């Protein structure tokens, strides 16, 4: 039987690359350049817009007893989008900036998941949230102003929410046919690849 924990055990290198990156290390030490962090911030706002749409599609496919957790996440996403706008205002950033190719690719992947079986969608949704939870936690305490970002995705409430998503995904994977489980593995690995590319995207932008 496939579980989220098994995915992490079977693919440690892919997951390490998704959650341990020089971008996050530089945030910890305060050595990240403003233009690099600002690039990530704007693109992540654009990503979260599409991730919110993914959450809506997940809800449409979910069994009723999964609604409460997914809806709690959608409520948090509403606050998160407003928070991103506040951070952009503080930094005088233009959120109407076009998506970079990596962001476009990630958003396209999330949109394509709409046709996947619910266990695959649930696994991918968990993996995306867990990547942020781990990515911002693993470096340890960060210096200001990046500590605010680390706390947003590394705080105990968010960690508990992600654990709940894993439990829901595991419940679905438990009874999924082998072919669907393989689709879930593929989706997990694609999330890991795209997460690594998303952190790296900040370094591809000129000053």
Tokens of 55: 């959450």
Mean pLDDT of successive 10-residue stretches along the chain, which has 207 residues: 96 98 95 96 98 98 98 96 97 96 98 98 98 92 93 94 98 97 98 98 74
pTM, two decimal places: 0.96
- 185 exposed, middle or buried (CB, 10 Å; 0-12, 13-18, 19+)? middle
Q: pLDDT tens digit string along 46-76?
A: 999 999 999 999 999 999 999 999 999 999 9
What superfamily does domain 4-30+43-204 belong to in CATH?
A: Heme oxygenase-like (1.20.910.10)
Question: In this predicted structure, what is the pLDDT of residue 206?
Answer: 54
Residue ranges of alpha helices (H) inside the chain are 4-10, 12-19, 22-29, 34-61, 67-91, 101-112, 118-137, 146-154, 156-174, 178-201
Cβ(18)–Cβ(135) below 8 Å: yes
Residue boundaries of the structural domains of the chain: 4-30+43-204
Find the distance separating the first CA and the last CA of the chain, reported in whole Å.
48
Dihedral angle over CA of 154, 156, 161, 164, nearest 10: 120
Report the alpha-carbon distance of residue 129 to residue 131 in Å, rounded.
5
How does 36-58 read in b/e, with b if 16+ C-beta sit within 10 Å?
bbbbbbbbbbbbbebbeebbebb
């Amino acid at each position: 039987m496939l579980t989220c924990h098994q995915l992490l055990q079977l693919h440690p290198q892919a997951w390490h690359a998704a959650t341990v990156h020089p971008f996050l290390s530089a945030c910890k030490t305060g050595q990240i350049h403003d233009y690099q962090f600002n690039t990530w911030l704007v693109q992540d706002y654009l990503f979260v817009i599409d991730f919110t749409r993914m959450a809506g599609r997940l809800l449409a496919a979910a069994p009723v007893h999964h609604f409460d957790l997914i809806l709690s996440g959608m409520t948090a996403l509403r606050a998160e989008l407003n928070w991103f706008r506040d951070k952009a205002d503080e930094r005088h950033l233009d959120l109407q900036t076009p998506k970079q190719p990596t962001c476009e690719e990630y958003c396209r992947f999330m949109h394509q998941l709409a046709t996947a079986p619910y266990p695959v969608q649930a696994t991918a949704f968990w993996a995306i949230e867990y990547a942020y939870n781990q990515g911002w936690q693993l470096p340890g305490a960060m210096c200001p102003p990046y500590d605010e970002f680390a706390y947003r995705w590394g705080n105990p409430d968010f960690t508990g929410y992600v654990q709940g998503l894993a439990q829901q995904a595991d419940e679905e994977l438990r009874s999924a046919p082998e072919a669907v489980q393989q689709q879930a593995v593929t989706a997990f690995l694609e999330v890991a690849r795209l997460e690594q590319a998303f952190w790296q995207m900040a370094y591809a932008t000129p000053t």
